[in-house]
Structure 1
Amino acid sequence: MQALSLIKDVISDKTLAVEFDGTSCLRRRLNSCDCSYCLDVCPAGALFLDNRHIQHDTRKCTHCMQCTAVCPNDAFSIPGYDLDSLFKSMEDRDLSVFSCARQAQIHPEEKVVPCMGMLTIEMLLVIGMKGPDVTAFNVAKCPECENKVVVDSFINSLTYLKNRAAALLNTRFSLLTHQNQINSLAKEGRRSFLSGITDKMISIAGSQFVQKIDTKIDTVSQNRRIPKKVQLIKKLIESVDNDQKALITSLCVYHLTASSDCTLCPLCTGICPTGALKVDRLAGEKQLLFRNTLCSGCGLCVTFCKQNAVRLLPPGIHKISKGKEEHQECLTVSVRKLSCLDSSS
């Protein structure tokens, strides 16, 4: 209860709930960068451009945490919130209940997050692969909240995982949408709740083997800033077999193509904030190497390529050939000039 109270205090102080670090914002660091991920998702108009730079109006901010979920360089953060502890607290449990900080505590196994909007596909995949038998999300009061639009995006993410990643998940995701479900969980306890889950909830049954995945986050790797969600997926990929690796890659990893116009100049490799691109020699030939598990999807390589030779593909589309989508674990666009390092490297 004390932890919940502390988080509620943080949320009630709107100057502390979301912190914007302008020095980490790619638009502020690079004048030609047109990154607009946070602008596109902010439902309250709290983010705006001033002389091409992102500004954060804390008076308008409703703390939906969408900006923290989409920023490719972790320019938005939640002070005092320990993501590592959240994941560790789910180990060796048969039930976890997620609630936002604005809803009352309902269960001893409750995991409090500032808002459901912070739970990205990457985080949900980690929860699904290393979480308990059942993971429930308390969204009963979300329709009454000023951040209710976030719930639709959150449910879409759960549905996406249900349709694309059922084979990966060890937990069963359930939505608590009505007060009677909340009351039942609080009064009857977790055993009754586990046995009473209905088909009306979003449920995903995966394998029974719960994998132990290292989710500890390092902020700096090889003098490059690696965003948290990129690190989470990289650690997942390093811990699973090839079949699971291919599926995770298709769900969460960006891919890159380079046409024959690529001159192997150092612009994209020098500007990449995570070190996903580098020029090296393979088999005696100079090539552009793309390590897909380090890519944050910022798009700077595309922006700075003077030859317009680079194209960044979002997760789910690994190769485009004659208008058809083909899914591959690792992309090799040009044998002569572009190679892709294996996901495990």
Structure 2
Amino acid sequence: MWTRAFGSFFATSGVKFQSELCLRGRSPRLLCSRCADECPPGALDLAGRLPNLQLSRCTECGVCGAVCPVEAFTLLPSPVDLFANTRERGAVRLACGKLPGSGETVRVPCHGYLDVTLLTTLGIAAPRGLWLDTSGCLSCEGRRGFSAAKRSFDAASRLLTVLGLQAEIAFQPDRPQWLGQTNTDVSRRDLLRRLAGKATTAAASLVVDLDRQTEGGQSGLPSKQLPLRRRLLLHILRSGSNQTPEMLAAEGAPWAEPRIGSDCSACLLCVTFCPTAALTAYEDPDHLEITLDSSRCVACDVCAQICPAGAITFVSQLSVADFVSAHPHLIIDFPKIACPSCGQLFISLPQAKLCPRCQKDAELEQDVSSWT
């Protein structure tokens, strides 16, 4: 049985898909296939414009939600609930439902549900350590979920190191020595108390603070939203005093740093289609500039795919300070000059000698001359 994503969403008992967020629905030129490529049971099909879900094959592992850069797929537990429960426990064992639990255990559908952004957040939130218990992964059919989780773990470990945070985080089947021993009965009583009080209050507060905000679309285009996982990570980073001048390798990082080359035609399609408003444009009588807010970039590659001139590339080293500070910085500036034919100001491009109107008139005159 297939459920098609023709409406605003399709949902199983645990997975929700919001088609208005999906990158594939924004333009035929955007061919993101991460969800189908990484789905462990192969339950997602991209034969149409939007993903189709085969309900009988879906295991609700959450890998689709982890790899989707705009969180078109969501399921429980929410990132906010995971954050609140992790912060309250201090030392946390993340485990799927197939493994026995204890008072320190926080359940996740699969370790593949934990992308680099969420893992970094949980690593910071667990003051006495975070253990991803992989003892059940080798016998699990969803091995691609394990592979995705390992990539996220490696990238999160690098990011935590660059941030200067001495977080204990482990991805292994055996209990880490630093996690210590936990009295299960006491932990369960403590867990019930916390869930009834502080943890629930903290989660409810964060839901309000981190609720997705819509910047608004243009001319019927989809609205621009910052994914909840990203908002949660930025919240915890900015609540501390961690400012670092360090650079981070771009591979596996949760954001990217686009560069715009001289072939740019200033069409602003990259700005228009950026799903999170990481790229913005500002124009005044003297110039046009495009800026980047690294904290809003989700490494979706939309800007490069949509650029008709192929002018966008990505750097190999990322500024962590730019990411944490959320201060937009200039990536290209176009001065305006007076058209030598009509005197009107227009954006100066290497390939443009006249303003667009005069250029069209000149081309038309040339065509007419060739006919006579």
State the TM-score, normalizing by the size of structure 1.
Answer: 0.71
Which residue identity lines up with residue 23 of structure 1 in the other structure?
E
CA contact (8 A) 1:130 1:170 kept: no
- Aligned position for 2:203: none
CA contact (8 A) 1:237 1:245 kept: no
- Aligned position for 2:212: 219
Q: CA deviation at 1:336?
A: 3.6
Aligned counterpart for 1:108 among listed residues 94, 103, 113: 103
Q: How does 1:1-345 map to 2 (within 5 A)?
A: 15-78=12-75, 80-105=76-101, 107-163=102-158, 165-166=160-161, 168-175=164-171, 177-178=173-174, 216-223=209-216, 224-241=224-241, 243-244=243-244, 246=246, 251-281=253-283, 285-313=287-315, 317-318=316-317, 329-330=321-322, 336-337=333-334
CA contact (8 A) 1:140 1:179 kept: no
Report sequence identity in percent.
24
Q: CA deviation at 1:112?
A: 0.9
Q: CA deviation at 1:171?
A: 3.1
Q: CA deviation at 1:59?
A: 1.5
CA contact (8 A) 1:64 1:118 kept: yes
Whole-angstrom CA distance in 1 between matches of 2:184 and 2:268 = 62
Aligned positions, number: 290
Counterparts in 2 of 1:262 and 1:235: CA distance versus 1, 3 Å: farther
Deviations 1:187-208 (A, max 9, x none): 78899xxxxxxxxxxxxxxxxx
Name the SS of the counterpart of 2:92 in structure 1.
Answer: strand
Which residue identity lines up with residue 131 of structure 1 in the other structure?
A
Deviations 1:80-114 (A, max 9, x none): 53321221222254421211123232x11211111
- Aligned position for 1:208: none
Q: CA deviation at 1:318?
A: 3.2
Which residue identity lines up with residue 134 of structure 2 in the other structure?
V
Whole-angstrom CA distance in 2 between matches of 1:244 and 1:230 = 19
- Aligned position for 2:200: none
Name the SS of the counterpart of 2:141 in structure 1.
Answer: coil
Relative to structure 2, which stretch is displaced further, 141-150 or 278-287? 278-287
Which residue identity lines up with residue 127 of structure 1 in the other structure?
L
Stretches of structure 1 lacking an aligned partner (at least 5 in a row): 1-13, 192-213, 320-326, 339-345
Which residue identity lines up with residue 65 of structure 1 in the other structure?
G
Q: CA deviation at 1:332?
A: 6.7
Deviations 1:128-185 (A, max 9, x none): 222121222222122112213322332343344445533633431234515999xx95
CA contact (8 A) 2:24 2:49 kept: yes
Whole-angstrom CA distance in 2 between matches of 1:157 and 1:180 = 19
- Aligned position for 1:11: none
RMSD between superposed Cα atoms in Å? 3.6
CA contact (8 A) 1:92 1:132 kept: no
Whole-angstrom CA distance in 1 between matches of 2:275 and 2:171 = 37
Stretches of structure 2 lacking an aligned partner (at least 5 in a row): 1-10, 188-205, 217-223, 323-327, 336-372
Whole-angstrom CA distance in 2 between matches of 1:15 and 1:31 = 27
Bigger Rg over Cα: 2
